[in-house]
Structure formats: C-alpha cells, structure tokens
Amino acid sequence: MVMTDLESKAWSTLSEVEDPEIPVISVVDLGIVRTVEEKDGKLHVAITPTYSGCPATQVIEDSVVEALRKSGLEPFDVKTVLSPCWSTHMISEFGKQKLKDYGIAPPADDSTDKMALMGEERQIICPNCGSNNTLMVSQFGSTPCKAHFKCKDCLEPFDYFKCL
Amino acid sequence: MSDNTHRLNVALHLGDNALILGHRISEWCGHGPVLEQDIAMTNIALDLIGQAKMYLDYAAELEGKGNDHDHLAYKRDVLDFKNLLIAEIPNGDFADTIARQFCFDQWHFLLLQELSNSDDPRLKEIAQKSLKEVTYHKRWSSEWVVRLGDGTEESKEKIQRAIDDIWYYTGEAFIPAEYEKGILPENLNDAWMQSVKAVLEEATLEMPTDEWMQDGGKTGVHTEHLGFILAEMQFLPRAYPDATW
C-alpha cells in the first residue's frame, strides 16, 4: 500500500516523539505506534502499550496528540489497541542501537517468554564495556520494561530491556 | 441472566482479582526486605493494576452506563466485588506474601494461557497481553518459594507455615461461579496441582493435604479484610469526587 503524504508526514512527526522514560528512542522505534491511516481526509493513529501498567503510556499518548497537533495534522484521532500485543521484537534495529548507546542493554532476540518460564539465563552483554560476564540482579528493574543487571568485569550496574 | 450479564461479571471478576491483589502487593512499596525485591513487588503491582484497568474498561462497556474503569474501581462496595478471596488476604510477612503470590500466579498463568484462545476477542487480547507479564510474576514467586524452602531452617519453617495457611483459599479459583460457565476455562485444577507440587518438591516443602476450601469471593461474599482495602483505596475519590492532578 502506498503511503499518502499526510501519513508520511505523520510518521516523520511521530519519529521525533521520544519515550518519556528513555528519551533517546522515539515511540516509532519502540514499536509503540502501530498504524497511521488516512481515511476520508482524517488521520487515524493507533498506539499500543508496552506493559499494561506502564505509567508512561498516558504521557506517550498525550505527547503523540500534541506532536500531531503542532504539525498541523488535524483532524486526527489516536486510539489504543492491544492486539497484536506489543513485543520487544517490535523495537527497530536502529532503536536497539540507540538503547545500547544510552547504556541500556537491548533485548536479546529470542522469545524470553519461554526463558522466563523455564528459568534459563541468557548472556546479556554489558552496554558499557562489552563483556558478556554479567549477572542478573533482579528480573524487575527501574521501570516495568527493564531488568537489573551488573557487569562482573567493569563492575557497573546496568539496565537490560527485557524481552516481552 | 443474559450472556451479557455473565460476561460483565467475568470481566469484573478478572479485573477485581488484578485490582485487589495489585493493591495488596503495592502495600509493600518502601517496605520490601531488600531494594530489589521492593522494586519487584512494586512492578508486579503495577502490572496487575494495568491489567485491572483493561478488564474494568471492558466491564464498563458491557455495563453500558457510560462509566469507566475508575468508576468501577472506586465507586463499588464490598458486595459488588468479585475477586477471589486469596487476592484480599493481608500481606503478613514476606513468606506469607510469597505463598499467596505463588498460589495465585500458578493459577493466573494457566488461566491466561487458556484465555488467550478465548472466543471473546476482548478477553483474548487482554489475556495475551497479560500472559507475558504474568510469566515473569510466576517465575519470581516460584523462585522465592524454592529459595525460602530450600534455604535456612527458619526460612523453611516460615514458608511452609505460609503455604499451609493460604492453602484453603486456593481452591476457590477452581469452583466455577454460575456466570463464568462457558466463558472461563474449566478443569485447571489438575494442572495447577501438578505445577505447584513440582515447585514445592524442588523447595523441599510438604504439599498440604487439606481438601476443604473456602469460597465466596466470586459472588461477593468476602472476608473482613476487603472492606479495609476499599476504605483505603476508595477514600480519596469518594471524599473528593472527580479530583484530578
């Protein structure tokens, strides 16, 4: 399907909207913006929550609305959709690199749903020194989407964006 | 009762489980035994309250009175709540909280797995979303049961007592209320028993043998504890209706 000018403008506007908790990655790279569709002269934007209780969800919706308005893209509506549910697979490669540069280890590729269930540990690479000699301190970290790790080589604690 | 009323009650039941247990665990915020576990419990509380919001939004739509999730959370009284009794039992000590969470998570996980294939598209999408989060909860509480059970003499004694104490609240989940028939999965009891048994064995703990189970929560007959939770949780929106930040 070919993108309309309006849709394309909306995508580029939204790619400037940052996640409030991780202000280096856009809501587009995080995979929060699900669809942008122009229908009968109106934009319909669908966003999806990462974790169901994530307090940033409301802030993100407000930021999306504000950005679209500032870019003169009215009339539009923004709705929240749950299905298909958000997964860390939806984070773009560019987004993963941004996370790493920011000091957050990006999610490992495979499904961690299964790993979380079976209690298997994956080697997570330290975003500071690149060592794989790391240790999970807690499956739960500073925000719902992160686990708490430490590096046994450079001794720095770090966040890991855990798979969902 | 019509199918719509049944569905509404199911959405309230699931929403209330998440809301009340989420509120309970949130009481640990700032009181956890160590910082990491304080954060873990706060995160679990947050997930559950997020899930409650999705179910209660659905309930509000089914109810069709123009209410929203906040109205259902803050403006209903004890008899209207349909959560399992296990969700409202006080935190006790850390072992009590772990035992309660473990028994609940083991059931919650099985329920959401089945509900992820529900004919009801809303319940299906909420379950698919929640299952990912609850997978982490289940792992956390199961690991703690093992750690405490296979830990020191004192920790073992505490978690065994806690499991024994919570046991008679664990059967209610498997006694179907009239409204849930045909909507929620049945026959999860055996899978739950197996899964719980495997963890308790690893934890070198005894599986309780009591068979008598307390029920009532699903139909609004609660323990004395729920009223106190609601008094705290609902005070602000009742005293200052429509208050906003």
* Inter-chain residue contact A82 with B39, CB threshold 8 Å: no
Nearest to A83 among B39, B47, B128 (CB): B128
Helices (H), chain A: 5-14, 56-70, 93-102, 112-118
**Contact criterion met (CB < 8 Å) for B39 and A138:** yes
Is the same domain home to A108 and A138?
Answer: yes
Q: Tell me the pLDDT tens digit for each residue of B72-94.
A: 999 999 999 999 999 999 999 99
Are residues A153 and A80 located together in one domain of the fold? Answer: no
Domain that holds residue A66: 5-86
Which CATH number characterizes residue A28's domain? Answer: 3.30.300.130
pLDDT the model gives residue B149: 98
Average pLDDT, chain B: 96
Q: How many helices (H) and strands (E) does chain B have?
A: 8, 0
Do A139 and B135 make contact, defined as CB atoms within 8 angstroms?
Answer: no
Nearest CB to A83; choose among B46, B125, B131: B125
Within 8 A of A141 by CB-CB distance, chain B residues are: 39, 43
Closest-CA residue of chain A to B125: A83
C-alpha dihedral, B158 to B159 to B160 to B162, nearest 10°: 90
For residue A145, pLDDT beyond 70: yes
Q: Which pLDDT band holds residue A121 (cuts at 50, 70, 90)?
A: low
- pLDDT computed for residue A112 by the predictor: 47
Q: CB-based contact (8 Å) between A54 and chain B? A: yes
Summarised one tens digit per residue, pLDDT across range B131-188 is: 999 999 999 999 999 999 999 999 999 999 999 999 999 999 999 999 999 999 999 9
Name the nearest CA neighbour of A37 among A81, A72, A76.
A76
pLDDT digits (tens, 9 = 90+) for B101-133: 999 999 999 999 999 999 999 999 999 999 999
With contacts defined as CB-CB under 8 Å, which chain B residues touch A138? 36-37, 39-40
Return d(Cα A19, Cα A3) in angstroms, integer: 25
Q: Which of A55, A84, A138 is nearest residue B40 as measured by Cβ atoms? A: A138
Instruction: Name, of A104-108, A130-134, B56-60, the range with top average pLDDT.
Output: B56-60
Among B36, B47, B139, select the one facing A119 at the smallest CB separation: B139
Q: Which CATH class is domain B3-239?
A: mainly alpha
| pLDDT classification of A117: cutoffs 50, 70, 90 | low
Domain final residue pick, A51, A86, A121: A86
Per domain, the residue ranges of chain B are 3-239
A42 occurs within a structural domain: yes
**Are A9 and A78 found together in one domain?**
yes
Whether A52 and B129 lie within 8 Å, measured CB to CB:
yes
- Residue A106 CB neighbour total at 10 angstroms: 23
Residue A37: phi and psi, rounded to 5, are: -135, 135
User: Are A67 and A111 in a shared domain?
Assistant: no
Are A57 and A112 in a shared domain? no
> Is B136 in contact with A144 (Cβ distance < 8 A)?
no
Candidate from B40, B44, B125 with C-beta closest to A82: B125
Quote the pLDDT of residue B2. Answer: 80
Q: Is residue A131 part of a domain?
A: yes
Query: pLDDT category, A111, cuts 50, 70, 90?
Result: low
Is A77 in the same domain as A17? Answer: yes
User: Per the confidence metrics, is the pTM higher than 0.80?
Assistant: yes
- Give the C-alpha separation, B11 to A157, whole Å: 41
- Chain B partners of A82 at a C-beta cutoff of 8 Å? 54, 125-126, 128-129
Per-residue pLDDT, averaged over A61-78, amounts to: 95
In a domain, A94, yes or no: no
| Domain contains A116 | yes
Residue A87 has pLDDT above 70, yes or no: yes
Give percent above pLDDT 90 in chain B.
96
What are the chain B neighbours of A53 within 8 Å (beta carbons)? 22, 45-51, 53
Question: Are residues A62 and A120 both part of a single domain?
Answer: no
If one counts the domains in chain A, the total is 2
* Cβ contact B54–A52 (<8 Å): yes
